[in-house]
Structure 1
Amino acid sequence: MDTKGKAELPGGAPPPHVRRTRWLAIAGSVSFLALLQFTLSLRSSCHLPALSLGSSAPVCPQASPLEPEKNGALWNDLTALHATNDFLTRAVGQLSAAVQIPTETFDEMAPVGEDERWLSRGPFIDHLATAFPLVHASLELQKVNTYGLIYTWQGSDASLKPLLLMGHYDVVPVAPLSVDQWTHPAYSGYFDGEYVWGRGSSDDKSGVIGILTTIEVLLEKKFAPTRTVVLSFGFDEEGGGIHGARYLGAELLERFGPDSFAMIVDEGAGYMKEYGGIFAMPGVAEKGHANVNIEVQTPGGHSSVPPEHTSIGMLAALIVHLENNAPVPVLEVGTTAFEMAQCWAAHAPDMPGLLKRTILRAGKSHTALKAAEAMLLKDPMFKAVVGTTQAVDIISGGVKSNALPEQALALVNHRIATQSSVNATITRDAELIRDLAARFNLSVTAYGELLTPAAAASYGSLTLTSPQNLEPAPVTPSDAPAYHLLAGTIRSTFYTARKDVEGGKTHISVAPGMMTGNTDTRYTWELSRHIYRYGHGNLIEGLGGIHTVDEHIRADSFVEMITFFTTLILNADEATTL
């Protein structure tokens, strides 16, 4: 329900960990989208009705927009500044300059010091020192593994848990064959009066530059934080954060200890339209992933005397069998997908009446739940978020047209539902494949364990390995004060940017969401139980060319992002038990 009051965020014993799934997905590189629910009290000025079913608790209640009180005058001054053309010009200039410095991350880069491609990070770091002089004069900067950056803005009250803001300044490469397809050169940072164009303009130099611009301006205004603010910027998120965020996370854990941060905010989805309603969807969870390698080995020979099935044919049959028996997604009460759907039903004005009624009844009726599941799973994006997915992404085999292939390999990529696990996912693959492999008289070894009798004669072998996997992230509770502070901040920022403080002209709902991809937060799970993946920005028009040709960001959306970070820092600074 809508309630008033400055967010009270847990400072004592934290609540028990909540293993609930929440959804989101934003169909882009990071593929995010969806989320929502909550309770508890927040002080502010705007109340929004929450749909209630009989005597039950309201469905998807909304936090009131949350504005700073102690620092209210400063916040009013800063939001007025953000609305000026001069500030937009300044912000655009900062982002444009950052985009003009290529910082590409490639697959399988050697460690720092052994691969010269890391050297591109040096000029970018040097640029930051020049572009943000007050940040570098006032905050402590620690470089981790040469190019990872940790900035510490020390607060006056050491008893308060710090706020951790994250981002990454590396970008995906620009494909050489696509260079001439860009409307403006990929590293031009060109501003056409409405958009900033270039690789990294949206993912994620806008986040890094937005945070640093926020703090630079706060320092210009002589703001001194009560709560410590820590910034952590990775340099290889597009490669999995192995050389960057992994080291940054370990350093932060050593310096601050487990569960030491009040909340963590990293890149993620912004706000978008669903069924005619605008929804902001901070990710409170991430799906896991597992790569399963399938290798079939059989005797070679001349292809003029072939067996009934070659290794490639056997592998093809195994793959077809996997695809014909894909994991079945199930909509479960209490999961992120379910709560997201309920939020849509409660707040989206254009959702069809039958779907709306069915979703709202699904929490108490199994029949309604299955009916809602059948309707919602027709949406491929929603279906992908609900359950564990599989995709055969790589296949290889054979060396010559007249030689029988002795080896055939495939890689199956799984994105694992938050209510599942790596072990359950890869075990399912082994069980599915084992019986079919027996028909081809193949011995089966799955993840180091021989599944067929050692004495059994075989024509060849089938081997499953899974060297790269990640469990689903712990789910951040959406009934916690930290979540309410974030939600209130999002709504306040949205209305302020539109000079619609009471939310009378436009309405935004906030929903807890889930990442279908993974961010650098995978290395911060021990640092806080309140981790959010959210990049405040207008995605109603689309994803801005993330990871493809013509990446761009609206200039006014970038300024709104700076307003969000400003409001978040000031709200967190005033929260008494965050």
Structure 2
Amino acid sequence: MSRGLWHIAALIGVATVGYALLKAQPSKDPEPPVQHQLVQALDSEAEGGAAARLALALSFPTLADEGAQNHIGNPAPFQQLHDHLERSFPLLYEKLHHERVNEYSSLFKWHGSNPSLRPLLAMSHFDVVPAPEGPGYNWTYPPFSGTIADGYIWGRGALDVKVTLLQQMEAVSLLLRQGYVPQRTIYLAFGHDEEVGGTAGAGAISALLQSRGVQLELVLDEGGVVMMDGISGPSFRLVEQPVALVGTAEKGIETWEVVVAGEGGHSSMPPVDGSSVASRISRILAALDANPTATTLAPPTTDWLKALAPGVSWAALRVAMQSSSNWIANPILGQVLGQAGKEVSPFVRTTCGVVKVEAGGIAHNVLPRTGTITINCRVLPAHNASFVGDYLRVVTLKEADHVKLRKLPGSEAGSPVAPASGPVWQLLETAILETLQPAQGLRVAPYLVSGMTDSRYYNSLAGGRVYRFCPHRYTRADIARVHGVDERISEEDFLRGISFYRRMFELASSDVGSEEGGAAAAA
């Protein structure tokens, strides 16, 4: 979206809210954050060792297999990684209670001194996605070589997310070496199959904790990062200052099949009335493109806009964003954001993407009688369980007599929206600002995660207080490295992330809890 279009849309929003804004107290820029000294997580003796430990962990090709029992097709790399961690972090295995779950996942429990406080749970996962090599995949270093070079640690999992697993273990190891004892119990939960659904890993760990009556104060999983070049798209720049994006909710997922019937027959005599399977499929595809779902501007996207607003240079747009919950401005802003390109549109609409089209042909001279369109939808938390089905029925209405809709197994609802204020949010924000803030300053903003993480298994155990954040600094170019070629993390960023987890564990283990208070877990 061009700067001019943003400006016009913002002016329209401001003009529309008119009277309401005159009566409302204008929003103020927040006070500048206190500049805290960076928490030094590692002494010089340990720095090289930490990078080497991550590099070796990246060398094990821990690929989960959706079709295998327990989602483990090749157990050897997983066992090698477990052995490596036991050798590298003996204090964790000695001082914390450790148990294997479903053989390849791990659950650590660090007992706190105050049993009246609900525990914190930090998460990561052992498995990574495949790393194809060969033509078109020009890796600077082999993806499972675990190479340290040019100031970076290279390999599959350096960003998603073996790196956070090692950072969390490094942080706890440092605190143990100092004799630190948390007031609040801290769990470390590491699944082994997140990339293929997480049922055997995080799902099993969550069920185990639930069976023990555990209630959590907060959960911290992968998700947002520090965007060093601000918030921008292909043709606009919204905020120039670095922004730490903390996921406070996730979209749900539904996959549907549209089964289309048509007139068959010999290919030499195709129907001329548009009744063939191919014709009907093409009309449905065109209708999907022309009629996306209606925009809905709701939390956490309204929270995201309000948090970013003070950093927006255009006054009209800034005021409109600050008023994103206003009943007049809200739908206008929603429509504007819905037209802002594929990077922004998913924040305000349920997206439905066609992932497979099959015309059903059986021979080169036979017109098929049936075909299918497979559609994957990512559902806003604000939308109810019938939303996608109702939408698809409307989009296919003209072909209704020749279409059957079928919702495929594996659908999951969106998550609750975690609070973007209050004690839990404040301690997370404090840890981010103390350890990750660059010289040019940093804004911390909630946002909606369009994908899904293992954290969804813990929503019920934490009362929705689930936050998704990785303590890493990204530029726009780094995004393509996640699940892509040349995945890497700088050594400095890796060590900085250890500082973040260390500080997070210190802050969260104090007597700072949610407004609801904290009853101790029985486990």
TM-score of the alignment, normalized to the shorter chain, above 0.5:
yes
Aligned residue number for residue 389 of structure 1: 351
Partners in 1 of 2:507 and 2:218 — Cα distance?
12
Partners in 2 of 1:65 and 1:109 — Cα distance?
51
Paired amino acid for 2:56: A
User: SS state of the match for residue 137, structure 1?
Assistant: helix
Paired amino acid for 2:443: S
Cα deviation, residue 425, structure 1: 1.3
Asked whether the 8 Å contact 1:422–1:470 carries over to 2, the reply is no
Aligned residue number for residue 49 of structure 2: 90
Aligned residue number for residue 460 of structure 2: 526
Cα deviation, residue 183, structure 1: 0.6
Matches within 5 A, 1:553-564: 553-564=489-500
Q: TM-score, normalised by structure 1?
A: 0.77
User: SS state of the match for residue 184, structure 2?
Assistant: coil
User: SS state of the match for residue 481, structure 2?
Assistant: coil
Cα deviation, residue 485, structure 1: 1.0
Partners in 2 of 1:267 and 1:300 — Cα distance?
50
Cα deviation, residue 373, structure 1: 4.2
Asked whether the 8 Å contact 1:280–1:509 carries over to 2, the reply is yes
Partners in 2 of 1:62 and 1:409 — Cα distance?
55
Aligned residue number for residue 285 of structure 2: 319
Cα deviation, residue 284, structure 1: 0.7
For residues 49-108 of structure 1, give each alpha carbon's deviation from its aligned partner in whole angstroms, at most 9, with x where no partner exists.
Answer: xxx9987374574795598xxxxxxxx9x93453x55443222111101001111234x3
Paired amino acid for 1:317: R
Matches within 5 A, 1:279-298: 279-298=243-262
Cα deviation, residue 417, structure 1: 1.2
Paired amino acid for 1:200: G
Quickly say closer, same or farther: Cα 1:570–1:286, change in 2 above 3 A: same
Partners in 2 of 1:400 and 1:62 — Cα distance?
70
Partners in 2 of 1:544 and 1:220 — Cα distance?
37
Paired amino acid for 1:393: V
Aligned pairs, how many?
479
Asked whether the 8 Å contact 1:195–1:552 carries over to 2, the reply is yes
Matches within 5 A, 1:394-543: 394-396=356-358, 397-438=360-401, 442=402, 444=403, 462-495=404-437, 505-529=439-463, 530-540=465-475, 542-543=478-479
- Residue number among 25, 33, 40 corresponding to 1:56 in the alignment: 25
Aligned residue number for residue 83 of structure 2: 126
Aligned residue number for residue 68 of structure 2: 110
Paired amino acid for 2:117: L
Paired amino acid for 1:96: A
Quickly say closer, same or farther: Cα 1:481–1:469, change in 2 above 3 A: same
User: SS state of the match for residue 386, structure 2?
Assistant: helix
- After TM superposition, the structure 1 stretch with the greater mean CA deviation from structure 2, 555-564 or 314-323, is 314-323
User: SS state of the match for residue 148, structure 2?
Assistant: coil
User: SS state of the match for residue 167, structure 1?
Assistant: strand
Aligned residue number for residue 306 of structure 2: 342
Matches within 5 A, 1:244-263: 244-257=201-214, 260-263=215-218
For residues 256-282 of structure 1, give each alpha carbon's deviation from its aligned partner in whole angstroms, at most 9, with x where no partner exists.
Answer: 34xx11110001111111321121111
Aligned residue number for residue 206 of structure 1: 163
- After TM superposition, the structure 1 stretch with the greater mean CA deviation from structure 2, 201-210 or 299-308, is 299-308
Cα deviation, residue 506, structure 1: 2.7
Quickly say closer, same or farther: Cα 1:569–1:178, change in 2 above 3 A: farther
Aligned residue number for residue 270 of structure 1: 225
Give the % identical residues: 27
Partners in 2 of 1:240 and 1:65 — Cα distance?
40
Unmatched 5+ stretches in structure 2: 1-20, 232-238, 515-523
Cα deviation, residue 344, structure 1: 2.0
Asked whether the 8 Å contact 1:194–1:555 carries over to 2, the reply is yes
- After TM superposition, the structure 1 stretch with the greater mean CA deviation from structure 2, 90-99 or 423-432, is 423-432
Partners in 2 of 1:186 and 1:279 — Cα distance?
29
Quickly say closer, same or farther: Cα 1:398–1:119, change in 2 above 3 A: farther
CA RMSD of aligned residues (A): 2.6
Quickly say closer, same or farther: Cα 1:437–1:377, change in 2 above 3 A: closer
Quickly say closer, same or farther: Cα 1:110–1:299, change in 2 above 3 A: farther
Partners in 1 of 2:101 and 2:435 — Cα distance?
33
Partners in 2 of 1:243 and 1:119 — Cα distance?
17
Asked whether the 8 Å contact 1:179–1:186 carries over to 2, the reply is no
1:552 matched to 2:507? The reply is no
User: SS state of the match for residue 282, structure 1?
Assistant: strand
Quickly say closer, same or farther: Cα 1:90–1:566, change in 2 above 3 A: same
- Residue number among 237, 242, 245 corresponding to 2:199 in the alignment: 242
Partners in 2 of 1:232 and 1:361 — Cα distance?
39
- Residue number among 501, 507, 515 corresponding to 1:571 in the alignment: 507
1:187 matched to 2:144? The reply is yes
- Residue number among 315, 319, 328 corresponding to 1:357 in the alignment: 319
Aligned residue number for residue 79 of structure 1: 39
User: SS state of the match for residue 487, structure 1?
Assistant: helix
Partners in 2 of 1:164 and 1:250 — Cα distance?
14
Q: TM-score, normalised by structure 2?
A: 0.85
Quickly say closer, same or farther: Cα 1:179–1:315, change in 2 above 3 A: closer
Partners in 2 of 1:417 and 1:342 — Cα distance?
19
User: SS state of the match for residue 543, structure 1?
Assistant: helix
Partners in 1 of 2:462 and 2:168 — Cα distance?
20
Aligned residue number for residue 379 of structure 1: 340
Paired amino acid for 2:425: Y
Asked whether the 8 Å contact 2:184–2:511 carries over to 1, the reply is no
Cα deviation, residue 190, structure 1: 1.1
Cα deviation, residue 571, structure 1: 0.7
User: SS state of the match for residue 566, structure 1?
Assistant: helix
Quickly say closer, same or farther: Cα 1:62–1:135, change in 2 above 3 A: farther
Partners in 2 of 1:89 and 1:317 — Cα distance?
60
Asked whether the 8 Å contact 2:128–2:161 carries over to 1, the reply is yes
Cα deviation, residue 111, structure 1: 2.2
Paired amino acid for 2:365: N
Cα deviation, residue 419, structure 1: 0.9
User: SS state of the match for residue 467, structure 1?
Assistant: coil
Asked whether the 8 Å contact 1:300–1:405 carries over to 2, the reply is yes
Cα deviation, residue 559, structure 1: 0.9
Partners in 2 of 1:150 and 1:193 — Cα distance?
35
Paired amino acid for 1:326: P
Asked whether the 8 Å contact 1:287–1:517 carries over to 2, the reply is yes
Aligned residue number for residue 14 of structure 2: none
For residues 493-540 of structure 1, give each alpha carbon's deviation from its aligned partner in whole angstroms, at most 9, with x where no partner exists.
Answer: 124xx6xxxxxx432111112110000011111110210001111013
